[in-house]
Amino acid sequence: MIPIKPIFTAKAVEKNKPDLSQLPQNVATQYLAPGNLNLSQLPPLSLYIHFPWCVKKCPYCDFNSHEVRNGFDETAYLDALRADLEAALPLIWGRKIYTIFIGGGTPSLMSAAGLDRLLSDVRTLLPLDGAAEITMEANPGTFEAEKFRSYRQSGINRLSIGIQSFNSRHLAALGRIHNGDEARRAIEIAQANFDNFNLDLMFALPGQTMEEVQLDVETAISFAPPHLSLYHLTLEPNTYFAKFPPAIPDDDLSAEMQELIHTRMAAAGYGNYEVSAYAQPKRASRHNLNYWNFGDYLGIGAGAHSKISFPHRVIRQARYKQPKAYMDATASGNSVQESFEIQPDEMGFEFMLNALRLQDGFGVNLFQERTGMLLNSIETELLAAEKKGLLYRDHQTISATPLGKLFLNDLQQIFLKSA
């Protein structure tokens, strides 16, 4: 096992450590006071920006997305995003942003001028790392070559393209607005403008065969994307598919599909660094790695979530979900609908829910660095997981065993302390 190294070296952390003494007084009083945790350093910080609109709501989608029926007020939403970010600045005072992810919905519905304004506002208000990874999600049904050239010029340096399948029949069953030819054309436009991009694919689709899965994977590999995300279709609550479930492959066939994908991706030189993520060497998503390593992220936009650390506590926030409610709340000076502190008895589960998704595990020191708690605070749970054969650890690394990866939910649940 190769231990996961911290994203920062100790020297870099010290150099970029925020001056907490300069926090506004109201924030310092609330978050710097003695608490239950003791973080020796703050984690890396990412920015997530949510764009809530899409052309059509997909029947499997449980994300905060809303169909564009009569258009949307781009200027008003960009105004709200800026106001939201300005109001959140005291919580991240002096901290540098290392990655940005613009997700949705369908962010590629934004005009070129709107995206340029958004990134300009971010640069004005936040210190960005010189090598910041800036990703934007894009739907193949919204690709226009000129607009995507403009996106690149504005600062987007990585695309995440929601292909899902190259099979037009499956795309129709998934409610996608593009077909197989448009999927291929979108990738060609991405290749012409970006040297870093991800393709999202789904498998275990309604009526899908092994041969069709293999053809989707081979087609994706033929474009040599630096990164591929391959997701099992799940019937999430509160979706159309949950109410009217389609006939999807059974567990045995789904497992065969997953094994085929894993074998073929490895043969093509892609490392499976996280449950659903495959990347060429050194092309893993830095934004996603920050999530899995229990880093911090500020989320702005309708329904966006945040996790922000302070020396003695870690908080989570959620913005108002409905776009109008979010914009109204932001105009009133508070876009945050919910804010709470992660309690010590919840911290082990929160950390493991993320870090155990990493295929190579994580370094033993990372738990204390990111939670402010000693590793022995979850010793009982670690021993229980080891006893069941779900977890491996040595003096350097903690990781799920092959059995633990097959039963990841069961492994993670071990760390959920009962009230």
> Mean of the per-residue pLDDT values for the chain?
91
- For residue 138, give its domain range: 10-290
Write down the pLDDT at residue 2.
29
Q: Do residues 119 and 189 both lie within one domain?
A: yes
**Whether 265 and 361 share a structural domain:** no
Given 290, 314, 335, the domain boundary residue is 290
Closest CA to 163 of 151, 176, 150, 172: 176
Contact call for residues 41 and 50 (beta carbons, < 8 A)? no
DSSP H or E run through 399 = strand 397-400
Instruction: Mark whether 253 and 387 lie in a shared domain.
Output: no
CATH number at residue 360: 1.10.10.920
- 378 pLDDT above the threshold of 60: yes
DSSP 250-269: -HHHHHHHHHHHHHHHHHTT
- Domain contains 328: no
Place of tokens 């990866």: 405
Strands 97-104 and 128-138: parallel
pLDDT tens digits, one per residue of 188-207: 999 999 999 999 999 999 99
Query: Which pLDDT does position 5 carry in this prediction?
Result: 29
Question: Cα-flanking dihedrals φ and ψ of residue 35, to 5°?
Answer: -140, -160
Domain assignment of residue 307, yes or no: no
| Residue 338: inside a domain | no
- The answer on pLDDT for 233 being more than 80 is yes
Residue 32 has pLDDT above 70, yes or no: no
- Is the domain of 370 the same as that of 286? no
Q: Which residue has the higher pLDDT, 186 or 70?
A: 186
Same-domain check for residues 17 and 130:
yes
Q: What is the pLDDT of residue 320?
A: 97
Q: Is the pLDDT of residue 387 over 80?
A: yes
Q: Which of 248, 275, 290 is the last residue of a domain?
A: 290
- For residues 285 and 352, state if they share a domain: no
Whether 393 and 272 map to the same domain: the answer is no
Please, which pLDDT band fits residue 146 given cuts at 50, 70 and 90?
very high
Residues 170 and 283 in one domain: yes
Q: Is residue 310 part of a domain?
A: no
The confidence score (pLDDT) of residue 27 equals 64
Q: Is residue 5 part of a domain?
A: no
Do residues 240 and 369 both lie within one domain? no
Q: In the numeric block, which tokens belong to residue 258?
A: 């997953």
Please indicate, yes or no, whether residues 90 and 157 belong to a single structural domain of this protein.
Answer: yes
Alpha carbon separation from 266 to 261, 262, 271 (Å, rounded): 8, 6, 6
- Mean pLDDT over 306-326 rounds to 96
In a domain, 326, yes or no: no
**Candidate from 26-35, 39-48, 172-181 with smallest mean pLDDT:** 26-35
Number of domains forming the structure of the chain: 2
Task: Tell me if residue 356 falls in helix, strand or coil.
Answer: coil
More confident residue, 30 or 268: 268
pLDDT at 249 over 50: yes
**Same domain (yes/no): 349, 277:** no
- Show the tokens assigned to 177: 């607005």
Cβ 59 vs Cβ 47: under 8 Å: no
Global pTM value? 0.91
Confidence of residue 300 (pLDDT cuts 50, 70, 90): very high
Distance between CA atoms of residues 167 and 94, nearest Å:
48
pLDDT bucket at 16, cuts 50 / 70 / 90: very low
CATH number at residue 175: 3.20.20.70
State the pairing for strand pair 313-319/305-310. Answer: antiparallel
Residue 300 is assigned to a structural domain of this protein:
no
As a whole number of angstroms, the distance between CA 235 and CA 262 comes to 22
314 inside domain: no
pLDDT given for residue 36 in this prediction:
76
